[in-house]
Amino acid sequence: MNLSKTNYLIYQDCGKNAWLKIHKPDVYFENELSAFDEGLIETGNEVDDLARDLYPGGVSVDNRKDFDYTAKLIKEKTPVIYQPVFQTDKYQIACDIIVLNEKTGKYDIHEVKASNSGDDKKKKTKNELYEKDLAFQYITMKEAGVDVGNLYLRRLNPDYVRNGELDINEFFTKEYFTERVLEKEEAIHEEMEIAYDYLMQEEEPGGNCSCLLKGRNAHCTTFAYSNPDVPKYSVHDISRIGLSKRKLEDLIDSGIRDILDVPLDFKLSEKQENQLLVARKKTEILDREGIQEFLDTIEYPIAFFDYETFPSAIPRFNGYSPYNQIPFQFSVHVLDEPGGELKHEEFIYTDTGNPDEPMIKALQKFIPEKGSVIVWYKSFEMTRNKELGIRNPEHQPFLQNLNDRIVDLEDPFKAQFYVHPEFKGKTSIKYILPALVPELSYKDMNIKEGATASNTWNQIVRGELSEEEAEAQTENLLRYCELDTYAMVEIFNVLKRLI
């Protein structure tokens, strides 16, 4: 059995998770991929296909096990090969693109990533992973008898703005990774050997997996299987505990798993202590004065507002950059005065063109010219409005006015004016709503969360659904977004009743 690059990279995050993927795939694949993960895979495939235009006319190796065909292409000195596969006694890989360098007679590796550089901290973390990715390919190809030249990383240029036809050479960056990989080649090769021995052992590694010392959001696919002693609501769910590694390690080393078993004198932040307090006492913390101060900032008429968007890695329209969100839908519930009639308006764009202009016109039509615009997690909606203004400068005053009136309904929960045991330290509306308005639920909806909404819209506009399916899914999108804004109305009403 060979160790693939994919499993090696999973090993980097959690060794036992990678072992289970290889030896107990039924455990690893027990849960279906999330809509978010499915979207990532589809995006990665689209970007990989597009990158081939950087080196057109290549030959594709479509069978991931066709090592002989790849060897034949190498022997014939094929100038460009897409998805070539190589194996040694221990390792196997599938590269994205390799290009024969006419000057050196060696094959240069071009690894394609559907990511941009991001901020400095994220870029450093990504680069360390990409170094191992390229090193695994470099070492395996060398051991397979291929003369390897330079190593390049091709990822998306965050500064690229589309204007007319997509400029493929400006869209992709070309980063020289050869020296940084060669500097770490020996150390990474040793790590590959250790990973191979660990992952190829027949006996399942005992004990917990390494994710036991990570916050809940960083847990691996098989965490519940490898850590059966960890309850559903555990110390890993303490708010932001993943950023306090020493605290989490102290709790785990002391044998504490259940959040209710955290000692009373254990040093935590005030917000973390409040989370544990309401969990222990099964009671609530309520700051009526704080809630009143928040409500006093809200002016009628009130528009409860929510966008749905699609994060397109490849810019589809002029003015867009990689991963700019495409706003394609919104819902708004309007309350003109206290105790007045609640009105609902909605908009969705399912044509293939740029939705910016129709979206802005619908905003102007349905959102009152004055009063508060209530959203949940305001930085998202405000950033969408700002981007719309940049792309459509003639509408910038209107969109800026919209942003000036935005009030974030998440704020009183972030400020812990209200802490409920069922919030479990979270302030997402998906946690707040079932605790405060249990009769409202996303459970019976055809679309239950944002990633599914994004993917569904993308399927509609790309013509991947029949006309009947597209109509049904459009209606599902409308009902999902409507619930988002109606949920805010009901949570707002709960806050008013509390004071």
- Reply yes or no on whether the pLDDT at 27 is more than 80: yes
Average pLDDT of the residues of the chain: 96
Q: Which residue has the higher pLDDT, 464 or 443?
A: 464
pLDDT reported for residue 122: 65
Whether the model pTM is above 0.75? yes
pLDDT reported for residue 419: 97
pLDDT reported for residue 125: 81
- Reply yes or no on whether the pLDDT at 113 is more than 70: yes
Are 359 and 310 in contact by the 8 Å Cβ rule? The answer is no
Q: How confident is the model at residue 244 (pLDDT cuts 50, 70, 90)?
A: confident
How many other β-carbons are positioned within 10 Å of the β-carbon of residue 269?
Answer: 14
Q: For each of the domains in the chain, give its residue range(s) and CATH number, in order of start.
A: 3-200 (3.90.320), 211-272 (no CATH), 291-498 (3.30.420.10)
Percent of the chain with pLDDT over 90: 94
Q: Which of 476, 477, 494, 478 is CA-nearest to residue 440?
A: 494
Percent of the chain with pLDDT over 70: 99
Strands 175-176 and 148-156, by their bridges, are antiparallel
Q: How far is CA 264 from CA 246, 279, 315, 363, in A?
A: 17, 12, 52, 50
Q: Which of 373, 433, 430 is CA-nearest to residue 405?
A: 373
Summarised one tens digit per residue, pLDDT across range 361-420 is: 999 999 999 999 999 999 999 999 999 999 999 999 999 999 999 999 999 999 999 999
Query: What are the backbone dihedrals phi and psi of residue 403, each rounded to the nearest 5 degrees, phi first?
Result: -65, -35
Contacts 24+ apart (CB under 8 A), 346-353: 346/478, 346/481, 346/482, 348/474, 348/477, 348/478, 348/481, 350/457, 350/460, 350/461, 350/470, 350/474, 351/461, 352/461, 353/317
d(CA 263, CA 256): 9
pLDDT reported for residue 5: 97
Q: What SS3 state is found at 346?
A: strand
97 token code pair = 């693109």
372 token code pair = 């508060």
Report, as an integer, the average pLDDT of 267-290: 96
Q: Please calculate the CA angle 359-360-364 and round it to the nearest 5 degrees.
A: 120
- Reply yes or no on whether the pLDDT at 117 is more than 90: no
d(CA 278, CA 416): 12
Q: How confident is the model at residue 121 (pLDDT cuts 50, 70, 90)?
A: low
Q: How confident is the model at residue 303 (pLDDT cuts 50, 70, 90)?
A: very high
Q: Please calculate the CA angle 128-134-137 and round it to the nearest 5 degrees.
A: 145
Report, as an integer, the average pLDDT of 455-463: 97
Q: How confident is the model at residue 119 (pLDDT cuts 50, 70, 90)?
A: low
pLDDT reported for residue 423: 96
Report, as an integer, the average pLDDT of 234-247: 93
Q: How confident is the model at residue 276 (pLDDT cuts 50, 70, 90)?
A: very high
Q: Which of 485, 234, 267, 266 is CA-nearest to residue 376?
A: 485
Report, as an integer, the average pLDDT of 242-265: 94
423 token code pair = 């919030």
d(CA 204, CA 4): 19
Q: Which of 300, 288, 7 is CA-nearest to residue 136?
A: 7
Beta bridge partners of 334: 303, 343
Q: How confident is the model at residue 245 (pLDDT cuts 50, 70, 90)?
A: confident
Summarised one tens digit per residue, pLDDT across range 435-453 is: 999 999 998 899 999 999 9
Summarised one tens digit per residue, pLDDT across range 81-111 is: 999 999 999 999 999 999 999 999 999 999 9
Summarised one tens digit per residue, pLDDT across range 125-148 is: 889 999 999 999 999 999 999 999
Torsion of CA 422, 423, 425, 429, to 10 degrees: 160
- Reply yes or no on whether the pLDDT at 120 is more than 80: no
With a CB cutoff of 8 Å and minimum separation 6, the contacts of 497 are none
pLDDT reported for residue 118: 54
